[in-house]
Structure 1
Amino acid sequence: MSSESRVGCAVRGGVVAIGMASLVVSCASINTTVPPELRPADAGRTVAVMHAIGVQIYVCKRAPDGRLLWTFKAPEATLRDEATRVVIKHYAGPTWEAPDGSKVTGKVLQQAANTRDPNSIPLLLLQATSTGGAGLFRSVRYVQRLNTQGGLALPPTCTQEGQEDRMPYQADYVFIE
């Protein structure tokens, strides 16, 4: 059972220095249904809310039973805040890297099906396994992936071992202390 919740942002609405330039970090928010299993019990404030556009990369691998199946390899996406001023890189790990050099890598704690779109990748709760840099992501402990659209490898079987498939997806990511 899930309840409506407004994921707000108590972001450090100040300025993040990047070399000689500076980048204003704005605060975004989303209205979404967050399943209870994706809400960390000891969550602090929301650091940032970003919208991702990218691909989920799959590679064709042989399963133990001999069938060829699409296997998830890595995400490749760009995340932006509501004002599209902050651009975050999202790649294998899974890792998110900010322009200030800070980054967070996580591991999946929980997942939930996207009940609005069963042909989309699942919603996730990830726990930070490492953070680096003194910027935006320095205190992130959790990441939620919400409002997913697309990204699944369809159909599940493939025909040529080693073949890659890049499935477009979108999602909202919430970074939590």
Structure 2
Amino acid sequence: MTSSRAQVLLLSLLAALIISCAHGACTTPFSSEDAQSVFVPSDLDPALIPPEGNVPIAQLFAVGDQVYTANGTAWILTGATAELYNSRSEKVGVHFYLPQVDPKGGQPSWKTDCPPSLVTAKVVSKAQVESNSIVWALLKSTNSQGSSGLFGDVSYLQRLFTKNGLPPSFPPTEVNAIFKSPYTSFYVYYKQL
């Protein structure tokens, strides 16, 4: 098969997948394996544990950047961008920040496209576990959409096992400068029974 023919075939398959997802024909990229593969440390700080009655439904691995903006004297966290992967290393969604805080105080958001779902949350507690990485955190959902998707019923989520993602150790030299700090973490998603 020629290279150009292979490219056309690949693009055709990709287009068919996108069209099937757009028309609701996609299957969920999550399975019962995802709920069974959730690992939460037994010695986790109690402040990072959701209230009783919330059960884990999935754990995703995030690879991306924490985004910091210079305010003139310091670096301020203003966002994040990351790709989300399930236990089979399949990309299943993205993590980002809304442009503005929502009415309930949420801004960090997680989204899946097939089937579509979204959760926005706010930090309710955090713990510094490693000095060279961003904090572990418990977040409470402020908005969730897409009842057939993973994030439609999320009540709480945890950010655990973080690596890197800190702001620069040097002061900013210009206002509104942007610094993207690579990070990884696991996000554990919960729903209320």
CA distance in 2: counterparts of 1:166 and 1:154, whole angstroms: 9
Do the aligned partners of residues 49 and 20 (structure 1) sit closer, same or farther apart at CA in structure 2, a change above 3 Å counting?
Answer: same
Which protein has the bigger helix share?
A: 2
The one-letter code matched in structure 2 to 1:105 is T
Q: What residue number does 2:101 align with?
A: none
For the pair 1:130 / 2:135, whether they are aligned, the reply is: no
Q: What residue number does 1:54 align with?
A: 64
Deviation of 1:87 (Å)? 1.5
User: Do the aligned partners of 2:168 and 2:179 also contact (CA within 8 Å) in 1?
Assistant: no
The one-letter code matched in structure 2 to 1:101 is P
Deviation of 1:79 (Å)? 1.0
Q: What residue number does 2:11 align with?
A: none
Matched residue of 1:137: which SS? helix
Runs of 4 or more, structure 1, over 3 Å off, are none
Q: What residue number does 2:39 align with?
A: 30
Give the TM-score of the pair, scaled to structure 1: 0.81
Deviation of 1:156 (Å)? 5.3
User: Do the aligned partners of 1:124 and 1:145 also contact (CA within 8 Å) in 2?
Assistant: yes
For the pair 1:42 / 2:52, whether they are aligned, the reply is: yes
Give the TM-score of the pair, scaled to structure 2: 0.74
CA distance in 2: counterparts of 1:138 and 1:76, whole angstroms: 20
The one-letter code matched in structure 2 to 1:91 is F
Segments of 5+ residues of structure 2 without an aligned counterpart are: 1-19, 98-106
User: Do the aligned partners of 1:59 and 1:71 also contact (CA within 8 Å) in 2?
Assistant: yes
Deviation of 1:138 (Å)? 1.6
Aligned length, in residue pairs:
154
CA RMSD of aligned residues (A): 1.7
Equivalent of residue 173 in structure 2, options 142, 159, 171: 159
Q: What residue number does 1:113 align with?
A: 128
Which protein has the bigger strand share?
A: 1
Structure number with larger C-alpha Rg = 2
CA distance in 1: counterparts of 2:44 and 2:53, whole angstroms: 14
Percent same amino acid at aligned positions?
Answer: 30
